[in-house]
């Protein structure tokens, strides 16, 4: 038997129904459930946003992930985006099936300081690479190591001039050792206790002495 939509009175003989409503009205009703403002966390220092994959540069893809996290009960696709505004294609379940709706939402930015910037500001580092040798070679290696560390989402806390070369302070031990093994360098490793972390475990800083 043909159904009639309680909102627009169209019949199921002329339009597809989702549950008791016609598809158009079901989609409109669904659209009202999507918030028109969505809050995204953005770092006040580097301007990157928080996504399900971590802190990322703001673009369509990362915004999709950040918004998707906020609207976790729906399936979200960012169709178009301008700073502060995004047009979304949202799919969700309603009684009788699933519907989709296109909706323009405002993006509100909540300020935060991301973990990396927080550590940077605090002068945090886990490893020191002591580069010794001919000055030009040493500074070439500093460039290489900086590029490697930044490409892997780490940072150089500082570079210090010392006798015979330069000391490079690096955010993560894993990046220091990663660089060394990738370039096939010979390093002398020493560790010093630097304190305890929040859960009371001993934390060591690594120093890698390298002759280049
Ligand atoms: Zn209808
Ligand atoms: Zn940041």
98 CA distance to ligand 1 centroid (A)? 15
Residue 138 belongs to some domain of the structure? yes
Residue 2 belongs to some domain of the structure? no
* Confidence (pLDDT) at 93: 95
Question: What would the 3-class secondary structure string for 30-69 be?
Answer: HHCCCCCEEEEEEECCCCCEEECCEEECCCHHHHHHHHHH
Is residue 129 located within the same domain as residue 109?
Answer: no
Is residue 107 located within the same domain as residue 163?
Answer: no
Give this prediction's pTM. Answer: 0.73
Is residue 21 located within the same domain as residue 109?
Answer: yes
Is residue 99 located within the same domain as residue 129?
Answer: no
Residue 96 belongs to some domain of the structure? yes
Residue 5 belongs to some domain of the structure? no
Residue 49 belongs to some domain of the structure? yes
* Confidence (pLDDT) at 110: 97
Residues with Cβ within 8 Å of 59's Cβ and at least 6 positions away in sequence, in order, are none
45 CA distance to ligand 2 centroid (A)? 5
Ligand nearest to the CA of 24: 1
Is residue 101 located within the same domain as residue 127?
Answer: no
Ligand nearest to the CA of 14: 1
Is residue 91 located within the same domain as residue 136?
Answer: no
Domain boundary among 114, 131, 165: 114
Is residue 98 located within the same domain as residue 129?
Answer: no
Angle, vertex CA 124, rays to CA 146 and CA 116, nearest 5: 70
The counts of H helices and E strands in the chain are 5, 13
155 CA distance to ligand 2 centroid (A)? 11
Is residue 24 located within the same domain as residue 99?
Answer: yes
* Confidence (pLDDT) at 170: 96
Residue 72 belongs to some domain of the structure? yes
CB 104 within 8 A of CB 86: yes
* Confidence (pLDDT) at 113: 95
Q: How far apart are CA 163 and CA 190, in angstroms?
A: 19
38 CA distance to ligand 1 centroid (A)? 28
Residue 98 belongs to some domain of the structure? yes
Is residue 21 located within the same domain as residue 110?
Answer: yes
Is residue 40 located within the same domain as residue 87?
Answer: yes
* Confidence (pLDDT) at 52: 93
Is residue 148 located within the same domain as residue 201?
Answer: yes
Both tokens of 157, joined, read 């806390």
* Confidence (pLDDT) at 49: 96
117 CA distance to ligand 1 centroid (A)? 51
164-197 residue pLDDT tens? 999 999 999 999 999 999 999 999 999 999 888 8
Q: Determine the 3-state secondary structure of 149 from DSSP.
A: helix
- Domain of residue 132 covers 123-211
Domain boundary among 79, 114, 149: 114
Ligand nearest to the CA of 116: 2
Phi-psi region of 97 (alpha: psi -120 to 50; beta: other; left: phi over 0): left
Domain boundary among 114, 144, 164: 114
Ligand nearest to the CA of 117: 2
CB 160 within 8 A of CB 176: no
Residue 75 belongs to some domain of the structure? yes
21 to 74, 83, 100, 112, 192: CA distances (angstroms): 20, 35, 14, 43, 69
118 CA distance to ligand 2 centroid (A)? 7
125 CA distance to ligand 1 centroid (A)? 61
Number of structural domains the chain divides into: 2
148 CA distance to ligand 2 centroid (A)? 18
* Confidence (pLDDT) at 77: 97
Task: Look at residues 116, 212, 209 and name the one whose alpha carbon lies nearest to residue 167.
Answer: 209
* Confidence (pLDDT) at 153: 86
Segments of the chain scoring below 70 in pLDDT: none
Q: How far apart are CA 198 and CA 171, in angstroms?
A: 18
DSSP code for 171: S
Is residue 26 located within the same domain as residue 54?
Answer: yes
* Confidence (pLDDT) at 200: 87
């Amino acid at each position: 038997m043909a159904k009639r939509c309680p909102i627009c009175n169209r019949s199921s003989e002329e339009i597809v129904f989702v549950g008791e409503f016609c598809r158009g009205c079901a989609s409109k009703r669904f659209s009202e459930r999507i918030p028109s403002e969505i809050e995204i966390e953005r770092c006040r220092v580097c301007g990157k946003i928080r996504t399900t994959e971590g802190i990322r540069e703001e673009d369509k893809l990362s915004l999709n992930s950040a918004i998707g996290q906020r609207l976790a009960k729906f399936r979200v696709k960012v169709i178009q985006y301008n700073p502060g505004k995004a047009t979304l294609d949202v799919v969700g379940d309603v009684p009788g099936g699933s519907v989709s709706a296109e909706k323009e939402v405002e993006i509100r930015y909540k300020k935060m300081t991301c973990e990396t910037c927080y550590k940077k500001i605090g002068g945090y580092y886990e490893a020191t690479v002591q580069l010794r040798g001919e000055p030009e070679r040493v500074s070439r290696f500093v460039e290489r190591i900086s590029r490697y560390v930044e490409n892997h989402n780490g940072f150089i806390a500082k570079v210090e001039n010392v006798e015979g070369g330069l000391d490079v302070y690096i955010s993560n031990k894993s990046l220091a050792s990663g660089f060394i093994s990738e370039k096939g360098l010979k390093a002398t490793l020493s560790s010093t206790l630097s304190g305890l972390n929040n859960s009371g475990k001993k934390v060591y800083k690594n120093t890698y002495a390298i002759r280049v």
